[in-house]
Structure 1
């Protein structure tokens, strides 16, 4: 059922934008100027796989995890029940539904995949999770391999990504199915209302195990693939995980239909295709309000959310603060190390802002090296305290990246100037608050940078 976060494992060394691309052996040898030679053939054979250019911790984790998973799958297959005619028919229905679903949504998935910045959640759970519940282990593994192979032929991700994610997927299915059967599920066509509650709990437990195993495997690999993993990058966003939960629930419904009314699986196929389209629309809407470089809200998204927050504060006769954060000497970073290094700094600072703010706070990228924060229910003193904490955290950063030649470097202690404007003290409109915070930033820079300044009352 799982997040095909598998296919989003970085395909090359994650030691900095630009450098990673130029070192990907599947895309040709790097030229002295750092650009790819599109016509040079990559190395052939296992020795040339991109896997061996990854961090040692990543390689070790992948190899050990795959060996453990393969052993678990082998044990599960050895103790699997012999498939009966009904099992083969159910496998055929699930495979047919998955194939139609994949082929009808391949363009949508390609577009979604190309826009994703972290994990990718697809709807394969609709077809795989029912197999976990109702099919023998051997047929479940066969279905997973067949479905994953179709996805790989469309996405064409590196082979080691495909193998690792497929093995992890199979291992998760084997463990979840084994636990489900050990706990003694009842026959679904003879369930009483009370017994159905227990059966529902068993399905939830199987789903949790299936998700948890994949989370450990794939999340661990993603976390070890780069120098500064983020929770969002490893686990996905709230919307990503909600989509996965819905796909899993639809998979449980598919299992019930497969047992009680097999032809109704055709209806599930249509639902899955439509749901794929809805997922793409939701992603497009999110992309329209997001900054592609940092994953924060862009000015459109920030202004819309901040406007709604300001309206709530007005109705409640409350207060809020707007913080403008401007990185000092950012042009020097780009000139010295290159723009990819500058991008790394922006991404790390964006991560600091996410971690240093509350769920109700609204964080966005104003443009260039400037960021905006709206802090509801915050007065001047609380805003100054928050701004000082953010400024100090940014100054303590040590950002691993690469220079213009692709050599590893560390940028230590970037600094930021922060301007604060408070509603209604400095302005009563969102534009007025933003302008007041911007003026306070320039006042901070004029007094030495790496400082926090509160806008004067007359700035409104």
Structure 2
């Protein structure tokens, strides 16, 4: 788990992107790294010296990691370039986590350094990002190692009966420690770099965390193979190359359905999800409504503050929609400054109240961004016009509901904006 990285670094320290980040970000980064380095130095000083077996295992893991990294350089570059915001799962945990289980701390740190150095030469991202990510990997692996050894693990070649279950439990504990350290350390730095952090942006999506769990699981398998039958680790080198490709394909599939600017479903993704929800509603004879949200006078924001500020506003509106709606509702970006929400199990009045909550939350939001000259600004008192179409009164298909909601939006704008209109009905006027 690492923070997604941005390009645009300079060789001149004063021009580093780091100094453009929020002060709280810089303070946490520097203090956190100082503490982490102190912990690593102390743990190394008290760690037993590596023996020949440790060195051989280190070389095997280093060779496997190198094969993995070099054979997936282009795939990984594409995957990282698509994940420029939020959390990015680093698949090299397949090699780093087994080191946490079977190697002493000096060799754990050496393996992390080797892996991260290769990532640096292939990605060429800002140095402070790579330093932070490298320290986070080393800290997580070393902490997991200390937790695992403190529990008194046994020689895997001598296990019998219930001992297998107990040892498996110890590996699970080490995996949880490994993940917990990264969640706290990396999640905190991501949250501090965001004006309005969310659980998803800081800790990753459900798919991100499943990918991380699978990666750590493969790492545990690698450790077992390394101890029981070292030559078979070559199989894991092949597996990780295929796994990297599958991760890229999964991301590509997600990208096809996701709006890159807001992280919401795009029109294709929204339509697919909405159709499935619609079919379930028809079968169960449940109510359903489509809300079309149009941000009023959005062009003024771009003209006044610049397009990056407009993008920040769109992202914040997307976050608000996610916060106001339920997990089962389908939220997407229709295009431009328009959004769509499919709300299930509601009647016309309930759908209106949902739309009104959205209108109110947007109108009271204070959105922090930067102006055309980079100065901090806060955008407030923005409004939306919302059209609501309910099944089956206003349409018996998603397309019919979309047309009805769109017509209601236009009517809301003609009536003065900042209001919710129900398709084909007398307007519900917003209270000011």
Q: TM-score range by the shorter chain?
A: over 0.9
**Is residue 160 from structure 1 mapped to residue 128 from structure 2 by the alignment?**
yes
The reply on whether 1:94 has 2:64 as its aligned counterpart is no
**Equivalent-residue separation in structure 2 for 1:54 and 1:456 (angstroms):** 49
Contact 2:87/2:202, CA 8 A, preserved across alignment = yes
What is the CA distance between 1:48 and its match in structure 2?
Answer: 4.3
The structure showing larger relative contact order (alpha-carbon pairs under 8 Å, at least 6 residues apart) is 1
Question: Could you say which residue in structure 2 is the equivalent of 1:455?
Answer: 423
1:214-265 CA deviation, whole Å, 9 max, x = no partner?
Answer: 1111111111123222322211221111111100000001111001111110
In structure 1, stretches of 5+ residues that fail to align are: 12-23, 27-41
1:142 aligns with 2:145: no
TM superposition score normalised by structure 1? 0.89
Task: Report matched runs for 1:26-45 at 5 Å.
Answer: 26=10, 44=12
Is 1:399 matched up with 2:375?
Answer: no
Q: Distance in 2 between matches of 1:149 and 1:457?
A: 64
Task: Report what 1:443 is aligned to.
Answer: 411
State whether structure 2 residue 21 is matched by structure 1 residue 54. yes
The counterpart of 2:177, out of the listed 198, 201, 209, is 209
Which residues of 2 match residues 12-411 of structure 1 at below 5 A?
26=10, 44=12, 46-116=13-83, 117-411=85-379
Deviation of residue 419 (structure 1)? 0.9
Please give the secondary structure, in 2, of the residue aligned with 1:195: helix
Contact 2:9 2:126 in 1 (8 A): no
Displacement of 1:381 in angstroms is 1.8
The SS at the match of 1:366 is strand
Report if the CA contact (8 A) 1:10-1:225 is conserved: no
Q: How far off its partner does 1:286 sit?
A: 0.8
Cα RMSD, aligned residues only = 1.5
Q: Deviations over 1:392-428 (max 9, x none)?
A: 1111111112222322221112111111111112111
Matched position secondary structure for 1:332? helix
Question: 1:295 and 1:315 mapped to 2: Cα distance?
Answer: 30
Equivalent residues of 1:10, 1:222 under 8 A apart = no
Alpha-carbon separation, structure 2, partners of 1:123 and 1:91: 18
Distance 2:423 2:277 in 1: 21
Q: Structure 1: which 4+ aligned runs deviate by more than 4 Å? A: none
Distance 2:294 2:373 in 1: 28
Deviation of 1:439 (Å):
1.2
2:390 is matched with which residue: 394, 417, 422? 422
Q: Which moved more, 1:405-414 or 1:282-291?
A: 405-414
Assess if the C-alpha contact under 8 Å between 1:348 and 1:399 holds in 2. Answer: yes
Q: Deviations over 1:317-373 (max 9, x none)?
A: 212111000111112112222222111111100011111121111111111111000
Asked if 2 retains the 8 angstrom alpha-carbon contact of 1:297 and 1:363, the reply is yes
Tell me if structure 1 keeps the 8 A contact 2:86–2:190.
no
Count of equivalent residues? 425
Q: Distance in 2 between matches of 1:312 and 1:392?
A: 30
Q: Tell me, what secondary structure is at the counterpart of 1:371?
A: strand
After TM superposition, give the deviation of residue 274 of structure 1 in Å: 0.5
Question: Is the Cα contact below 8 Å between 1:418 and 1:441 reproduced in 2?
Answer: yes
Q: Is the 8 A contact 1:419 1:453 kept in 2?
A: yes
